[in-house]
Structure 1
């Protein structure tokens, strides 16, 4: 309506101006005696009516045009509103479809996944409880069997698990070795020291690559009064000899595989039990493989090699490699928490 008024206003002003001139023209002619007053009045009235009719016609044309434009705008707006409503309905429909999928997924999770998860959680909980119980039993048996000090270094975690230490102690009791060598050091070194002290013979030599950890183990040894039984030797990790690693391409790539400095234990001989629990997995692929080639010349005929952490892929692979390269070896897989393989010469 504002557009209509803006368009009509100039037209009305123009029409009014022209109409005023035309209406005043006959009286002006009559005033000058050029036209009788009666005719002048009639002519002014006719002119006034004609001007009004023209103005009305023009206004009607403008109104019609404005109505058409308004109709076009209404149709355009209606179309836009319709499209917006349709798009919104489509979005709502898609949202409902997504909601149905979510609802179906939740129903599936509630009906299938959650029961499975609960059953798996229950199995895992029972399995962990059984493992914890077994480790507690092994711990208690070790304490009672070895008559250790009241406060012993903890097992499990980074340290050996009680079931592995129990396995080691059983072999120490059976073999009564003069020398036990451990790749790595820590809590297990203390427990093996008690086992050797109980039998009244033998010593433990723990090979450690980390100077700080070696000092910690030495402090534990002193605390338990096992200095005469357990020795920790520092053997930094150095470039391993060619052929003692699986991935020979490592050297070409600039990644030199490392193992203990063998000069630290070159004087050892007649090793009755070898525990391979180091170096750490982060050292490289099959990081513990060199243990057997390095110690093989120094092993007693009835020696036992115990490989820890055989639940890991790397340790299982290097164990198979040992069997392939040393066919005289026999392997027994022990049910330990982290996995343990026991190697010995056939017939020993």
Structure 2
């Protein structure tokens, strides 16, 4: 907890209610976003609470859609997401967080991520105002989360990218002011990096998403290789499935390559955070290949040893960059 206190102190966050909210967001990041959280630790202390807040907002909405009480229907989840999103947008417009913002889906606050005295919204609202983040980014995100409750597949790559814009690209754009770009062209690279991270997650979670009734691979790709949902549901990775996954991994890697130059357009104290996330999310694709594409009945992950191998030298570099800042 002393680490959290030092982060909040460095960010100039003194209000007890705000500190409680930032704490809730940090806990979400630590529990659910191992790679994301590890990378965040490479940022200067004052930036970390704001990254936690944005992650907490995204994760809480994702929990409403995917991980809350399984007895809830999609219609009930959609209603709760609308209510929570409307409270957020109203609070953003009025400057007041209403009663119940952090309670659970049943109104009790019990057993739900982000529940508690404050919840994550005060922190994210504070971060939005501090960095003057456009409301449109958050509206687009909520729209994509709602799509998860009604859309089970995407006909084309362009259709999928509509969803990805709201689910991932805008998150990269939300993060950008906190990371302090040194050139306006960094925005285009942030868009590609957000999409690359999302595609890596899609590929890692093909089997898990399929069991939820969703496929985040374009139908045109499935058709190209003669793969159907029914074929994926068998859990058998045969030649057509392997070729499909190879094709989609190559597409994801192209986005990683496109995004890579943008990391140097960030403030030196932010670069090691992004380099770490870049390598570890990219490693998901390597792990899929290492597992011989056996991802329909299991979830591959980047091991702790690899995460530490990437993060430890980055931590040393990040510490040095804070002591000797440079814009080069």
Same fold at TM > 0.5: no
What's the TM-score once normalised by structure 2's chain length? Answer: 0.30
Question: Based on CA coordinates, which of the two structures has the bigger radius of gyration?
Answer: 1
Greater helix share, structure number:
2
Please give the TM-score of this superposition, normalised by the length of structure 1: 0.28
Highest relative contact order (Cα 8 Å, sep 6+), 1 or 2? Answer: 2
